[in-house]
Structure 1
């Protein structure tokens, strides 16, 4: 009995995938942001703020984000990354390195100021730091009265400084030292403030330009070897190069209801199933392997960019041969085979063909023929997969549609001026909004305290905390939504399915005819039903089986 089952189921953009700069620039802007760690982690799903020992050493979100991404993507013996289609991951990491270099330059200058005005007058510095740490504790434990308590604490320190400057308890050199011991840190604070404000303005300008979609170069001089002996720079350049190659891996992972990591959930599925019979007048048909049919279908899918009607070809068609491994929905890491079948992160062609021809009923990795379109300036990633299965003389061809929509709106946020509402001078019952300085006293102290530890990131993280990233980590899949909330994106997903299905169907009929297989009674006679069913497709959650 024959059956037919059909259910709807960069800094330098890559030229084969079409423009994809919008998402890259938006995510890159996070490296330059100066919002608090708690604010950023609370807005971005999957990220966690790791608390440190002392509030004064806490990083802001941009600092924590840059360090976390650099460690995760360039660290030694790191776990594999989930591909981020539609993004230039190398450019994102280079912006993190550029932001780190800007902050490192700032920290070197602050360290000099801290040594001259802070370390040489250590007793006075400790008194001031204790006052600011006390203010931080009061703000955390009693936010309503924190301002009043903090003012009292600072007033006491200022009074002590004035008392020592006017009438020190000792004479001679010690007396002179006591006169300046609490005043020198104030001079250091003034110099540090100028350095911090200058750097903050530079970082905010880069944040704004990237968030608005403008091109901002990520200068990474530490990745350019100065000579043949510069192993550190050569190693960094090699790690950045691996990011590019890893994004082109042909080994993917299916995580249950999450779909293919990096490509999204299935929103539609179409099946063409029938028993193979020799064509009329033929005793038998020519033998073939699934890979032979896959190659035929692949050739037709690659021609989707060509059309006899002007301006109607599908732009940026990418046809790939994937090997898909299964991982649990709650898996916190992925892995790729480490045998002779692999060439780095890429499985060799002969191994891919062997998996395509292998009987997969018993389990194991499976072969997917993937066709991908990246549209809307990289905001929408559409993926259609084709699987060819031969079981008990029955040919089963499945086409599934996956969609990954725009990234979280948090990445598009622009810097805002710091403001505060205060009562009017005369009409005290009314309020007015005043702009505050970009950098306040607490921020100057925080950066000045952190600066001397810039060469010890591990200790700095222990003291101030950091940022935890979601796993398995990819730059996009965790923070991307579905396209169905945007009319044009939904239309693109639905419209793209029709030519893909038509190409698969045409290739299948041609292949069957070439191998002396019946197409009239089996596949060709049901073409009308296939087209009618495809025209009524609607997105739904295939992987949750709730249609």
Structure 2
């Protein structure tokens, strides 16, 4: 498949995510608007996937969480040289990326205004701006780049410099133009800071309203006008549109990757496995069984799984499941990337049906990809993804039906926290034994300086990465599984995952037994084995099924 393949019929306006996946999608999308310290994302690292923060040369240029998240996600999902992405089951990956683009667009508009102020009040009075920048950088270094309060030494230094500046304004050894310039050199950056502060506060209020709106179930939709070309000459817009379409197409791919103890990437670790394996014996002595293939069994199981939402009682039960044929490729536990199947048997990230059938029937032993039939439930507004994978193999005279359970838990709690006002608790003046909360400015002085200093460099993000650092995403990367927690700490989610195993197992066994009976196989042993396995699955308990004690 060529990288330049266009997956869509033409220019389209980006759309919102699918119903039933809003919670996880909105939680991850809200990260694009956050103004928290970038190191907070390290708290969301899980057992298998760990983000990292790469430090830059100067802490004054370092990004906050929203800036670093948007930059990293956009480069990884839309970059021209990007590698394969892991599917984000339970979320709308395109919607998350669109919110990153929208947040970056808002920051660019803010940075244009800040750049004008920096040019007028800073570059024209460059020595003064460098002096004030040096003071804030030293103060930030002494206080610690992530400390909310400056240390005593840093504060004292800033006060001392300000006092010297005031004295210099009153009594200067220079006269004429040079005297006026020196005075402007001291005052102009301060005036620029005041104007920049108003712009930064307005932007912060807007960003936080979008952050909270997403987590409240509403919010403003992501608007990405640069992804909708108006004419054929707008090459950049067309490339962005195609990048989003390619992202959507890859999220619908029917190939996944098994990374050993990490489980199937994007689906979670394997927590349970149940197998029914018996010998194929003719039902009638002296007769041979009819020839059938693994695909015949899989097709029968597929048809039965489609009816899982139906039951004899009106009790709610299963929602409509996603029943899909998957091609599973093995990758190493510590693989730094994956490569999707390609060639004439793959089109638009989809392995063609005839190739799926061939793999199901013939690639059951030794090297190569394997075929699994999956039934997937997206629950809890996308916070829980339950996937039961079914594999049928025939080796010599033994038919094996294996059912395995995979569960992907909710996104880390970091992404579901709303913004909180900045306050400080102090003692009351008279009644000193009582306390009161003081509302602090939403944008602190050092934050205004950081944004104003970064603004002129936003036109070339790699330079900002070098100066201030960046967020390194875990590989192989997928938006959903990179920051997912285990579902076993949530009682009802754990119950849902374990309850899904029994009906799926029994449907798979019943369909397989019907195919065996139709083809003249003695099913007594299979029925007995099915009863034993069905009894064992009555009391399933989650475990790390891919960790072998050998």
Name the TM-score, length of structure 2 as normaliser: 0.92
1:162 aligns with: 166
Answer yes or no: is 1:386 the counterpart of 2:390: yes
The equivalent position to 2:535 in structure 1, one of 507, 512, 532, is 532
| Equivalent residue, structure 1, for 2:346 | 342
Distance 1:159 1:75 in 2: 49
Q: Which residue does 2:278 correspond to in 1?
A: 274
CA 1:261–1:252: 2 relative to 1, 3 Å? same
Distance 1:273 1:132, change over 3 A: same
Contact 2:275-2:533 at 8 Å conserved across structures: no
Structure 1 residues 115 and 143, CA, compared in 2 at 3 Å: closer, same or farther? closer
Corresponding residue for 2:25? 24
Q: Cα distance 1:30–1:280, how it changes in 2: closer, same or farther (>3 A)?
A: same
Which residue pairs with 1:35 in the alignment? 36
Of stretches 162-171 and 139-148 in structure 1, the one that deviates more from structure 2 is 139-148
Q: Which residue of 2 aligns with 1:6?
A: none
Partner of 2:11: none
Q: Output one character per residue of 1:400-456: Cα deviation in whole Å (capped at 9) or x when no partner.
A: 111111111111111122122334323556654322111111011110011011101
Deviation sequence 1:486-508 (CA, Å, 0-9, x none): 22222222222222112111211
Q: Aligned match of 2:290 in 275, 278, 286?
A: 286
Residue equivalent to 1:255: 259
Distance 1:358 1:538 in 2: 33
Q: Please tell me whether residue 376 in structure 1 is matched to residue 377 in structure 2.
A: no
Bigger shift: 406-415 or 33-42? 33-42
Aligned to 2:467: 463
- 1:526 Cα offset (Å): 4.4
Paired residue for 1:413? 417
Change (3 A) 1:314 1:90: same
Distance in 2, matches of 1:508 and 1:428, equals 77
1:74 aligns with 2:78: yes
State the alpha-carbon separation in 2 of the partners of residues 478 and 329 from structure 1.
15
Pairwise CA distance, 1:146: 4.8
- Give the superposed CA RMSD: 2.2
Indicate conservation of the 8 Å contact 2:271/2:544, yes or no: yes
Which residue in 2 is equivalent to 1:48?
52
Aligned to 1:4: none
Q: Pick from 472, 476, 492: which aligns with 1:472?
A: 476
Structure 1 residue 140 displacement after superposition: 2.7
Shift of 1:312: 4.3
User: Partners of 1:430 and 1:509 in 2: how far apart?
Assistant: 75
**Conserved in 2, the CA contact under 8 Å of 1:291 and 1:357?**
yes
SS at match of 1:182: helix
Contact 1:11/1:88, CA 8 A, preserved across alignment: no
Q: What pairs up with 1:137-536 in 2 under 5 angstroms?
A: 137-140=141-144, 146-280=150-284, 283-312=287-316, 314-428=318-432, 431-519=435-523, 521-536=524-539
1:160 Cα deviation from its structure 2 partner: 3.5
**1:525, distance to aligned residue in structure 2 (A):** 4.4
Does structure 1 conserve the Cα–Cα contact (< 8 Å) formed by 2:384 and 2:487? Answer: yes
Q: Can you list the C-alpha shifts for 1:60-91, whole angstroms capped at 9, x where unaligned?
A: 11101110111111111211111111010000
The 8 Å contact of residues 222 and 233 in structure 1, kept in 2 or not, is answered as yes
1:238: Cα distance to partner? 0.9
Cα separation, partners in 2 of 1:486 and 1:144, compared to 1, 3 Å: closer
Contact 1:316 1:374 in 2 (8 A): no
- Kindly tell me: are residues 311 and 244 of structure 1, through their superposed partners in 2, closer, same or farther at Cα, counting changes over 3 Å? farther
Structure 1 residues without counterparts, runs of 5 or longer: 1-9
Question: Closer, same or farther in 2 for the Cα pair 1:143/1:242, shift >3 Å?
Answer: closer
Q: Give the CA deviation at 1:215.
A: 4.0
Shift of the 532–450 alpha-carbon distance from structure 1 to 2, 3 Å rule, reads same
Say which of 93, 101, 106 aligns to 1:97. 101
User: Which is worse superposed, 353-362 or 291-300?
Assistant: 353-362
C-alpha distance 70-359 of structure 1, shift in aligned 2 (>3 A): closer
Query: How far off its partner does 1:458 sit?
Result: 0.7
Aligned residues: 534
- TM-score, structure 1 length as denominator? 0.93
Counterpart of 2:7 in structure 1 is: none
On the 8 A contact 2:270/2:546 being kept in 1, the answer is yes
